């Protein structure tokens, strides 16, 4: 039988040992939780401490390349779709990078592709708009010269407008021109067909009474060696009844670059075919 004093000593000793064990476990647990152990790393964290590797987005790199290639549109409209694809791919790359939580990079490439593609598309649109405007203006001036020649009855000048400048007759005056035309069988026939054309005879009969004004452009086509413009002009004249009447004329012009002619470096206009009466769709 254990004495009472010994039991008290055993209980006190056991209590002290148990408290010391709990204190030691608590200190060990706190030290482990505050340490930089790899077992405490959250592998789902996308921060630099959790994931140190990142790569550029492929879509960003491709958009940058296509953005630079978009300038090929100046050589052909077939490359226009390259710029469109570059713009769409740039937006897709930026969206992908934003949602990648740091895994993907390449915003610089995406913005480069976007800016270069938009610059190329904008520049080529402005360039061709200005080029078409210049074509319409030059064609309008040339067409008015033809109308004036016909109204004044200057058949040699009106007929020669069907050829570009280097290939026009070198006759000094109208008499000499008529002699050269009558000398050739085919040229003689072509002149008679030109004079007997109904539109030519009407314009010659109206003369200065008719007022010719530009109405609209039907079509403009551009090429490596020539440009074509198809326009419609309104001819207004006073009728016998005292009223003003109007008819329309369709006229086609070609601006040709005569390569191989060292003495003629500029482009030359000519009438593609004899103009004809025309009724716009809005009047049908």
Instruction: Retrieve residue 89's tokens.
Output: 């791919």
Q: Cβ distance 183 to 130 under 8 Å?
A: no
Q: What is the pLDDT of residue 274?
A: 82
Q: What is the pLDDT of residue 4?
A: 39
Instruction: Retrieve residue 147's tokens.
Output: 């109308």
Which pTM was predicted?
Answer: 0.67
Q: What is the pLDDT of residues 5-31, one digit of tens each?
A: 444 334 444 454 445 545 655 554 554
Q: Which of 252, 155, 166 is nearest to 195 (CA)?
A: 155
Q: Which residues contact 51 (CB under 8 A, 6 or more apart)?
A: 45, 102, 103
Q: What is the pLDDT of residue 14?
A: 47
Q: What is the pLDDT of residues 176-185, one digit of tens each?
A: 666 666 655 5
Q: What is the pLDDT of residue 160?
A: 82
Q: What is the pLDDT of residue 237?
A: 92
* Low-confidence spans in the chain with pLDDT less than 70: 1-53, 165-167, 169-174, 176-188, 258-267
Domain boundaries, the chain: 55-129, 152-283
Q: Which residues contact 141 (CB under 8 A, 6 or more apart)?
A: none
Q: What is the pLDDT of residue 48?
A: 46
Rounded CA gap, 137 and 143, in Å? 10
């Amino acid at each position: 039988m254990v004495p009472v004093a010994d039991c008290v000593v055993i209980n006190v000793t056991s209590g002290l040992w148990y408290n010391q064990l709990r204190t030691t476990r608590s200190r060990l647990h706190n030290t482990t939780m505050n340490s930089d152990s790899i077992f405490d790393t959250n592998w789902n964290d996308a921060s630099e401490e959790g994931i140190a590797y990142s790569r550029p987005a492929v879509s960003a790199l491709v958009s940058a390349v296509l953005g630079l290639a978009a300038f090929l549109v100046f050589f052909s409209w077939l490359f226009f779709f390259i710029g469109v694809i570059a713009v769409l791919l740039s937006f897709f790359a930026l969206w992908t990078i934003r949602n990648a939580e740091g895994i993907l990079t390449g915003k610089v490439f995406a913005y480069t592709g976007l800016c270069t593609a938009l610059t190329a598309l904008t520049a080529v649109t402005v360039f061709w708009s200005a080029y078409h405007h210049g074509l319409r203006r030059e064609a309008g001036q040339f067409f008015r010269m033809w109308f004036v020649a016909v109204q004044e009855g200057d058949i040699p000048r009106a007929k020669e407008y069907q050829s570009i400048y280097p290939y026009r007759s070198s006759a000094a005056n109208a008499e000499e021109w008529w002699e050269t035309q009558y000398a050739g069988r085919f040229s003689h026939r072509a002149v008679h067909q030109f004079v007997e054309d109904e539109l030519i005879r009407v314009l010659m009969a109206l003369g200065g009474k008719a007022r010719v004004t530009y109405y609209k452009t039907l079509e403009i086509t551009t090429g490596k060696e020539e440009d074509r413009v198809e326009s419609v002009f309104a001819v207004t004249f006073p009728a016998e009844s005292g009223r003003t009447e109007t008819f329309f004329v369709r006229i086609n012009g070609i601006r040709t670059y005569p390569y191989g002619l060292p003495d003629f470096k500029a482009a030359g206009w000519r009438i593609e075919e004899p103009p004809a009466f025309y009724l716009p769709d809005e009047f049908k």
